[in-house]
Every structure is written in structure tokens, then in C-alpha cells.
A and B are shown apart, each in its own frame.
Chain A
Amino acid sequence: MSLYDQLGGEAAVNAAVDIFYRKVLQDDRISRFFDGVDMAKQAAKQKAFLTMAFGGPNNYTGEDMRRGHAHLVAQGLNDSHFDAVVENLAATLKELGVSDELIGQVAAVAETTRNDVLGK
């Protein structure tokens, strides 16, 4: 069974999205990157992010990730912000009762995007 299915698929993404997005907006280290955007539209993008991190179906390429975060890199996005996002992601899953083992797998999936997200 894939990681995405083990986590519970789309239902897991739906359960996680509000919790995760609340954490991100309340995290002073990274909230500024999400300022000034339409919150409702952002929520859908957060789902895209979670689907990807959960190893779910998506058609994003590394190039898409580069392009999608380039304006944030220009605003100073770096490794510490990336780590903060992964931390919020892990805390969200913990809250939902996901095992440490699966949380580790999710973090590993996120890790594969680091260079692209940070434009390295």
C-alpha cells in the first residue's frame, strides 16, 4: 500500500489542511510568506502541497516547484523556513494520531523537494 493510502488518501488531506494551515499562519518564522494572499485560494494550494507531501497523485515537476516558489526565494526563503514547514507538517500529523514511522516517510518525501523549492 502506498504512503498516501496508508495515511488515508484524500480524506487525510482534508483532515489535515485546516490544522496545518492554522499552524503555518500562526508561525512567526514563516507566516509572512503567506501574507497578503487570498486565504481561501491558499487553502486549495495547501491541499496541493499536502497531497504531494503525502506521496499522493500529482503532476508537479521539480521545475513547477522552482517556478512556484521563486518569488518567495526572492523574498529570502531559505533552509530554516523549509525546516519550519516540515516541522508544522509533522506536528499536524502527530495531532491526527499518525505514527512516527509514517511521519518520517512524509518528511522524507518533502525533503526530496528541498532544492527545487529553495531554487538551489
Chain B
Amino acid sequence: MDLNTKNTWCPGCGNFAIEKAVKKVIEKIGEENTVITAGIGCHGKIIDYLNVSSFYGLHGRPVITATGIKIGNPDLNVIAFTGDGDSLNEGVSHLVHAVKRNSDITVILHENRNFALTVKQFTATSPRGFISNSSPSGNIEDPINPLALVYASGGTFIARGFSGNVYQLQDLIMQGVKHKGFSFIEVLQPCVAWFDTYDDYREKTYNLEGVPKDPLRKINEWNYENGGKIPLGVFHKEEKESFEEKMSRGDKKINTKEFLKNKA
């Protein structure tokens, strides 16, 4: 599945763990019927590293592109890689609506809490006070909790992993891909260049024991600021018919000639 392309992620970047985990999953589910798509950002480069069919789209749009691919060919496994800047800033409307309609796609959010490729600006999940090139005296906005957003929009599979734990990540992505309907996996992906959170996450993360009965309580345990524990694992899972299953697939019953006859 590897391509002989030059990898340009910074050594130690959390994206390597995502790539490793995803590769294992795709090997298992089959490369031929898998399609990946991504936005623009460091996260998107994964497209150039995997020898899997792909649509490398626009900044902010991988989630709706993925739905389009799934509508076009419902037999494909469709995985969208996106960044926090990508799908919580630029394209947040697509995320909310894909969740709402329970589109049968898997979204992997590379949560590095800054615009990395454009060399460090604050995003929707940067903590208050975050020093960046567009907030040199500290971010004055509060962060959003993407898990809460997805839950409020009706998410049917919500999980959080961490680049520091590839095995768990692989398991979460596999569960997400197998889930019928929209699956959302947020991956805490430290950006060693601009926001190195490895130590902080290693200290604060812990694994959920099973799927919690009260997902919101667990989702809100960490508010993307500095304090508190950070749960990892599956927060919520429910069965629901997917959007693409509900789309009409009747039999062709009419042709244009007949149609025009009725219009005479």
C-alpha cells in the first residue's frame, strides 16, 4: 500500500500513527473497495502516501465529498481525513449535516488544534490564550468541543483516539469503518512543530471502560482547555438506517418519449 513518495511530515508528527493505523485497517477491509478523500492541510498529505484510490479535494470539503462518493458507489468503504481547521472552521456545515443525515462514511479528524500547514494560526479547538501567528497575544476565543457538536447533531458513532496509542487507534478506526452510518473518530494528533501536546496528553488521557451510558458527561469531561482528564475510546454508538440506504433505488419505469407524449 506504500507509495514511493517523499514523506514531508515533521519527524515525530502525530500523523504517522494515524497513517500506520489506517493502513492496517485498509489491509483488512480490502484496498480495492476502499476510497479515501481528504482536505488540505498536513493531514491531507496522507493521500499521497497511500496507494489507495483517492479524491484529494478542497480545504474544508472532504466530508461532503465523501458523501458524494458514497452516493455514487454505495459498495465502497469511504474514509475522509480532515483537520480541525478543515472541518471545524472552513467546512463545519458539511460535518454537521453529514452527521445529521447519518451518511455512511468514516471521518477521521486529525486534531492538532492549529492550522499546521499554514504555519500556525488558531483554529476552533485551540485553547484560549493560544499563542499563534494570528493570535500573538493569545487566542481570545473559547474552543469548541467537536465530540459534543457531533453528538448534538445526532452522531451514531463517536470515538476519540490518540496518536500515542496506535493499537487502540487501529481498533477505533476499524470499529468506525464497520459501523453502518456516520462514524466520527477524533484523533488527538500532536503537532510537534507548532503545538506539541504529547506530554500533556500522555499525562491526562485514560481509556473508557466500555461505551458510557451517559455519553455527554464523558464528552464534556475535557473542554479542550488545559485542566481535567481526557477520556479515550468509544463515547457513543447506535444503530440507525444510513442516508445512502434510504436514497431511492427504484426500477426505471418511464422513458422520455412516453413522458413527452403525456405532455402533449
The answer to whether A and B interact is no
